[in-house]
Amino acid sequence: MENQSNFRKITIKIAEKENFFDLNLCAKEFIDLIDNFKSKFLNQQYFILVAYYENILAAILVAEDKSKRIDSLEKILPSICLHLLYVNPNYRNSGIGKRLVNTFIMITKNRGYATVYVKLPNKYKKGISFFLNNEFLGLKFRQKGKKDNRIVLEIHLWEDFGIRDCQIIRLDSFALY
């Protein structure tokens, strides 16, 4: 359980273009695994949250709008893929990762996304456990399936938050920025 003084030292905000160098310093080996990260980031194709512990970049979350996915009813579902959640080892077990995901889910819910999903390597037990064993804003990730040595976990925001009529979602709420 994170203590209240640590909670106050954490600041979460949306990353700007000028944060690219800092993101690379924080998690370069993991950012390099994301296809075309630099160009997509500079073209604002990713949604990125950063967490600072006091004034030190301690964690990042990288997501991408995947709203082109079609469900079984042939409707376009606004969905977003969480590509990366990285917490610097010096700041792990302090609640930063959970706060980043909570903030991310709150923002995506407010922007009208129906689904948040993450694909993790089958062998990444700590990451799978983190998403399956924690609640985020009262919601839990569920296993959707497996594909190419990866496990797919997702939260259905519309269903889990009780949104039944997509007419209440404004069309302009799909923009990431």
- What pLDDT, in 10s, does the model give residues 82-123? 999 999 999 998 899 999 999 999 999 999 899 999 999 999
- Give this prediction's pTM: 0.80
pLDDT computed for residue 103 by the predictor: 96
Instruction: Say yes or no to pLDDT of 174 above 50.
Output: no
Confidence class of residue 7 from pLDDT cuts 50, 70 and 90? low
Q: Does the pLDDT at position 144 exceed 70?
A: yes
- What is the mean pLDDT of the segment spanning 146-153? 91
When pLDDT is cut at 50, 70 and 90, the band that residue 170 belongs to is very low
Q: What is the dihedral of CA 52, 53, 57, 58, to 10 degrees?
A: -110
Phi/psi class of residue 70: alpha, beta or left (left: φ > 0; alpha: ψ in -120 to 50)?
beta
Q: Measuring CA to CA, which residue among 57, 77, 58 is closest to residue 68?
A: 77
Domains of the chain: 4-174 (3.40.630.30)
* Range with the largest mean pLDDT of 9-23, 48-62, 154-168: 48-62
Mean pLDDT (the chain, rounded): 82
**How would you label 139-150 residue by residue, b for 16+ Cβ within 10 Å and e otherwise?**
bebeebeeeeee
Which of 144, 19, 77 is closest to 11 using CA atoms?
Answer: 19
Residue 81 pairs with which residues in a beta bridge?
64, 117
**Which of the 8 DSSP states describes residue 114?**
S
Residue 19's Cβ-side half-sphere holds a number of Cα atoms within 13 Å equal to: 23
